[in-house]
Structure 1
Amino acid sequence: MGAYFGVSTIFVFCLLGFSANAEEFTIGSSSGSDITQELLKAFTSACQSPSRSRVVIPKGEFKLGEIELRGPCKAPIDIVLRGTVKADGNTAYGKDKWVVFGNINGFKLHGGGAFDGEGNAAWRVNNCHKTFECKKLPISIRFDFIENAIIKDISSIDAKNFHINVLGAKNMTMSNIKIIAPEDSPNTDGIHLGRSDGVKILNSFISTGDDCISVGDGMKNLHVEGVVCGPGHGISVGSLGRYGMEQDVSGITVKNCTLQSTDNGLRIKTWPSSACSTTASDIHFEDIILKDVSNPILIDQEYCPWNQCNKQKSSTIKLVNISFKKIRGTSGNKDAVKLLCSKGYPCQNVEIGDIDIRYNGADGPATFQCSNVSPKIMGTQIPKACSAPVTKAN
């Protein structure tokens, strides 16, 4: 069956914010076909439409090579993914991207379909979590400098690297996102965000081999709510301080979420011997349910995986106005709460309130550890909270 696109039809899509004259560009290739060039051509035409338009990928399975769908566009644009697109064999080593949506103001991606990164073969050679020198592997979905966007009702499966990366976004809402990869898949962060302002992640399910959600430098005003995370490495702010020229982080809220069987829970991590001096402030975790979560609450300013740094030098990342409130459930080890702040820059204004974390292991009850922080304690504290003196650097 031959390919076609550019089928322009009159629709009324009030629920999706369309006018009566929305223009539709439908991918017409048969299931199993490679739609890379057809999708690029359809998007380019839609991007030039003077009124809101949409590109539809119908039900079925399609091959998709490396592709960049970039504006600026003349009007808002929708991508409706109803089927599954699968990464082809060329989107592998030495590349840092598979699908990129970039430089669009007024963007919507939805439709109930899936991006399948076909990551299984690549994971065996992915050692970027162990060394600075490693083969690049593509991020499945990149959103670069997208403004006023809605991303909803899509899935990402078996990414070779990160599932979703958000950079330079403004006013973006992500909801009902489903992310799935095996728990031993390396570097498969669910959603990584940085240098963006005003992003919401709502009512989503993330089960992967690395952080469910990771927050990079320059992130401002992130709201995460109603997310189920696990397995994986939990929800992390950072790591921060590994690279030079990093920007401040502020306004991070995570609430009403469930973490289950994750290697870490709610985590803030910064590198010792940091390459920059920045501030991460106003970070709040509230109303979180834990189910067999290792290291449920963790501030780690000595984060140094695989000894890639100088642990003798204190982290220069300042942590200010941090809170953990209404955190309850079970821990997978006895280290229920660890607040390990920088000796050079002790944490400031840390609040702990209504913590009820139980551990039933043979090695004793749950513990609460502090260093270089004097937290403000409120409400219930199980385990009993510490109030460690601050040790200042000489």
Structure 2
Amino acid sequence: MGVHFGVSVFFVFCLVGLSANAKVFNIGSPPGSDITKALLKAFTEACQAPTKSTVMIPKGEYKLGEIEMTGPCKAPIRIALQGTVKADGNLINGKEKWVAFRNIDGFKLNGGGVFDGEGNNAWRSNNCHKTFNCKKLPISIRFDFVTNAKIRGITSLDAKHFHINVIGAKNMTFEDVKIVAPAESPNTDGIHVGRSDGIRIINSFISTGDDCVSVGDGMKNLLVERVTCGPGHGISIGSLGRYSHEEDVSGIKIVNCTLQETDNGIRIKTWPSAACSTTASDIHFQNIILKNVTNPILIDQEYCPWNQCNKQKSSTIKLVNISFKNIRGTSGNKDAVKLLCAKGLPCTNVELGDINIKYNGADGPATFQCANVSPKLMGTQTPKACSSPLTKPAK
């Protein structure tokens, strides 16, 4: 189909799987052009349509500036991105996002296309991984208060900051999503979710410079399944407790995932001297494959990058009902398992079952460290697990 704008409506329907009563709004712009105004115009018209509609971005490369597509819309709406949209390759100073979808119910984004954030030049000027007082860069794609949505078959490439950020969402699925940025790209979290209920991230590939999936405060009922992660910083719950007025986290399931060559594996991280007192509960990791992963299993309640906090004050984030089951593979260092809970608020009801993590380095064997937690053990544990509230590393 591509740039042939005269293609029949029937053929368009076949390509994007639309029902017969959906109206198509084409951007009407040639490849190579800036489609910011055309896309906003097409979206606005589609949003006002009384029946389901699709905004079509055909095959080809297009320039796209900062854009915000906001509902509510009168009927379900779909963005069919078949081409590649490219952000400004230079820095976008002070901007919090590149593309934003907001307040839309019944939303779909698909088509096999690419959001290219062109982040290479921006990464060189970004130092947010070293200091709080840094120059903010735009998140590639934001979903704010989007409900009953499905994002499928798209690619996010070289985001300047986070690739995808989700807040205030309900009943939202990401499927067959591909996220790619170099391992050295700073703060390029793959998918960050927070203050949402009922999010599914399934059958996706995330290779980036920060967390593949990161979970912020207020997240409830998250499923991450069949996700391949690496390189990156792994799959992280948190960090939690950095800001005041944070909300509880509950109902997190990370299952049937593979982590390869990541700096961390599956982890929960909270700040000491936290600015709030909340609970993170019912967090379960199961059937995880590790391939040369540093820090494969980690609870860190003294997470304090840049030394910008008081480690003498215990974390006030309560961790309850946590499980790690059937976690297997290889570690990149000897610290295979570290459950380092807060002294003032020990972790409760932590279960470990069938852990088999091998390490073959010269400084081995692998270790299992516990602090302020007495885990319930089931099945076999390699390395040998600790079981007392406060122990030295097990050999």
TM range (shorter): over 0.9
Task: Report which stretch shifted further, 87-96 or 182-191.
Answer: 87-96
Match of 2:215 in 1: 215
Structure 1 residues 105 and 16, CA gap change in structure 2 (3 angstroms): farther
Match of 1:312 in 2: 312
How far residue 10 of structure 1 moved from its aligned partner, in angstroms, is 6.5
Does structure 2 conserve the Cα–Cα contact (< 8 Å) formed by 1:191 and 1:212?
yes
Match of 1:283 in 2: 283
Does structure 2 conserve the Cα–Cα contact (< 8 Å) formed by 1:209 and 1:231?
yes
Match of 1:182 in 2: 182
Q: Report the TM-score, using the length of structure 1 for normalisation.
A: 0.95
How far residue 264 of structure 1 moved from its aligned partner, in angstroms, is 0.2
Q: Report the TM-score, using the length of structure 2 for normalisation.
A: 0.95
Task: Report which stretch shifted further, 232-241 or 84-93.
Answer: 84-93
How far residue 323 of structure 1 moved from its aligned partner, in angstroms, is 0.2
Structure 2 gaps, min length 5: none
How far residue 388 of structure 1 moved from its aligned partner, in angstroms, is 2.4
How far residue 30 of structure 1 moved from its aligned partner, in angstroms, is 1.2
Match of 1:124 in 2: 124
How far residue 19 of structure 1 moved from its aligned partner, in angstroms, is 3.9
Per-residue CA deviation, residues 363-388 of structure 1 (Å, 9 max, x unaligned), is 01110000000000000100000012
Which AA in structure 1 matches 2:236?
S
Distance 2:25 2:338 in 1: 53
Per-residue CA deviation, residues 185-239 of structure 1 (Å, 9 max, x unaligned), is 0000000000000000000000000000000000000000000000000000000
1:160 matched to 2:189: no
1:257 matched to 2:257: yes
1:373 matched to 2:373: yes
Structure 1 gaps, min length 5: none
Match of 2:229 in 1: 229
Structure 1 residues 15 and 113, CA gap change in structure 2 (3 angstroms): closer
Match of 2:193 in 1: 193
Match of 1:294 in 2: 294
Does structure 1 conserve the Cα–Cα contact (< 8 Å) formed by 2:194 and 2:219?
yes
Distance 1:89 1:237 in 2: 31
Structure 1 residues 17 and 76, CA gap change in structure 2 (3 angstroms): farther
Does structure 1 conserve the Cα–Cα contact (< 8 Å) formed by 2:291 and 2:331?
yes
Does structure 2 conserve the Cα–Cα contact (< 8 Å) formed by 1:346 and 1:390?
no
Structure 1 counterpart SS, 2:49: coil
Distance 2:9 2:102 in 1: 26
Distance 1:30 1:83 in 2: 11
Does structure 1 conserve the Cα–Cα contact (< 8 Å) formed by 2:22 and 2:54?
yes
Structure 2 counterpart SS, 1:223: strand
Which AA in structure 1 matches 2:160?
K
Per-residue CA deviation, residues 54-111 of structure 1 (Å, 9 max, x unaligned), is 0010000000000000100000000000010000257612111000011000000000
Structure 1 residues 17 and 220, CA gap change in structure 2 (3 angstroms): farther
Match of 2:202 in 1: 202
Distance 2:361 2:19 in 1: 60
Distance 1:88 1:306 in 2: 30
Distance 1:128 1:12 in 2: 43
Distance 1:390 1:157 in 2: 44
Match of 2:77 in 1: 77
Structure 1 residues 73 and 90, CA gap change in structure 2 (3 angstroms): farther
Distance 2:298 2:89 in 1: 39
Match of 1:104 in 2: 104
Match of 1:63 in 2: 63
Distance 2:281 2:307 in 1: 27
4+ residue stretches of structure 1 with deviation over 6 A? 3-8, 14-17
Match of 2:349 in 1: 349
